[in-house]
Chain A
């Protein structure tokens, strides 16, 4: 009898089945299955929740470092801006000469190029924003 035939003979012995309680113990260790529909709904809900949460977090992060919109007539910095340190560096001046503002008011235009640096409140990172200010100096014609 060769090995293959001998193996086949040995396979004639069938391993004893485990007790019924083993199946029950494993079933209790693995949580019961939920209905397929509700599991998909829960899966989808979880995905939507995570996606929405991520979008809100990203928006808050971006808004923290965007320059606060200037309010007309207001000189005070926004609360968001005050939470971070702001510094600026003038890199260039340009004289735009005397021009008529609105076609009738003479004024001298000065262009000031600035690099504005905003550092986060905890100092973990910094944002640089280039800016150009136009300064209007009224002049009188003689």
Chain B
């Protein structure tokens, strides 16, 4: 029966809502846009074939599936990882929309600050701030304790406040 409904157009509404968030989330591992989009495609399609009628409560599964796809891709391309760390800071492509020079500057500062966070903190802050997931959903996505997630988030925010220039706090 699922074969008849797996093509339900509602995947488009999920895509419209979450694609940019998923793309940002995986770019911490796959900074190049093309790689990140490959991971989003792989994870999203896999998720939708598994859950052709998803509920909001399936959102952690979507993130977890895309995360797996990204990490699989990262492992497959491990030889390139060092080079990509450099690209992460110097790449032309911003992780956030930046229409003006000021916005681009802010985006680059944020990108650099995030790159300096420990991976476990960076992942939580990306899911919480731009993925707009609750702590419970993040805990489910990462299969971690909710208190651990909340603590990582606090540490991440504290680190970002230090890493970002003071004037940026207001500008953001």
Do A and B bind? yes
| Bound Cα distance A14, B172 (Å) | 11
**Residues of A41-89 whose CB lies within 8 A of B:** 42-43, 46
Contact call A15/B7, Cβ cutoff below 8 A:
no
| Bound Cα distance A104, B15 (Å) | 93
By DSSP majority rule, is chain B's interface helix, strand, loop, or mixed? helix
Contact call A32/B169, Cβ cutoff below 8 A:
no
Q: A9-B170, A23-B15 are in contact. Are A29 and B4 (CB under 8 A)?
A: no
Q: Does B152 contact A (CB under 8 A)?
A: no
| Bound Cα distance A18, B9 (Å) | 19
Could you tell me the distance in whole angstroms from the C-beta of A22 to the nearest C-beta in chain B? Answer: 5
Contact call A15/B96, Cβ cutoff below 8 A:
yes
Q: How many residues of B contact A (CB 8 A)?
A: 42
Contact call A25/B19, Cβ cutoff below 8 A:
no
Q: A3-B157, A23-B15, A39-B5 are in contact. Are A15 and B130 (CB under 8 A)?
A: yes
Contact call A15/B97, Cβ cutoff below 8 A:
yes
Cross-interface CB contact of B129 among A11, A29, A33, cutoff 8 Å: A11
For B69, what are the chain A residues with a Cβ–Cβ distance below 8 Å?
A: none
Cross-interface CB contact of B37 among A3, A9, A19, cutoff 8 Å: A19
Could you tell me the distance in whole angstroms from the C-beta of B120 to the nearest C-beta in chain A? Answer: 18
| Bound Cα distance A17, B157 (Å) | 24
Contact call A22/B37, Cβ cutoff below 8 A:
yes
| Bound Cα distance A12, B170 (Å) | 11
| Bound Cα distance A21, B15 (Å) | 13
Cross-interface CB contact of A10 among B7, B97, B172, cutoff 8 Å: B172
Contact call B129/A7, Cβ cutoff below 8 A:
yes
For A11, what are the chain B residues with a Cβ–Cβ distance below 8 Å?
A: 129-130
Q: A22-B40, A29-B45 are in contact. Are A16 and B94 (CB under 8 A)?
A: yes
| Bound Cα distance A126, B26 (Å) | 61
Cross-interface CB contact of A1 among B41, B49, B169, cutoff 8 Å: B169
Q: A10-B129, A15-B21 are in contact. Are A33 and B41 (CB under 8 A)?
A: no
Contact call B9/A33, Cβ cutoff below 8 A:
yes
Residue ID in chain B nearest A29 by CB atoms:
B45
For A13, what are the chain B residues with a Cβ–Cβ distance below 8 Å?
A: 96-97, 106-107, 110, 130, 172
Q: Does B143 contact A (CB under 8 A)?
A: no
Q: Does B63 contact A (CB under 8 A)?
A: no
Q: Does B81 contact A (CB under 8 A)?
A: no
Q: A3-B154, A6-B161 are in contact. Are A17 and B20 (CB under 8 A)?
A: yes
5 pairs, A vs B, C-beta closer than 8 Å? A9-B172, A15-B20, A15-B96, A19-B33, A27-B12
Given contacts A21-B37, A23-B15, A39-B5, 5 further A-B contacts (CB under 8 A): A14-B97, A15-B20, A18-B20, A23-B12, A26-B45
- Please provide the 10 A-B residue pairs with the shortest distance between their CB atoms, ordered closest to farther: A33-B7, A9-B172, A15-B24, A15-B20, A13-B96, A39-B4, A29-B45, A14-B97, A22-B37, A31-B7
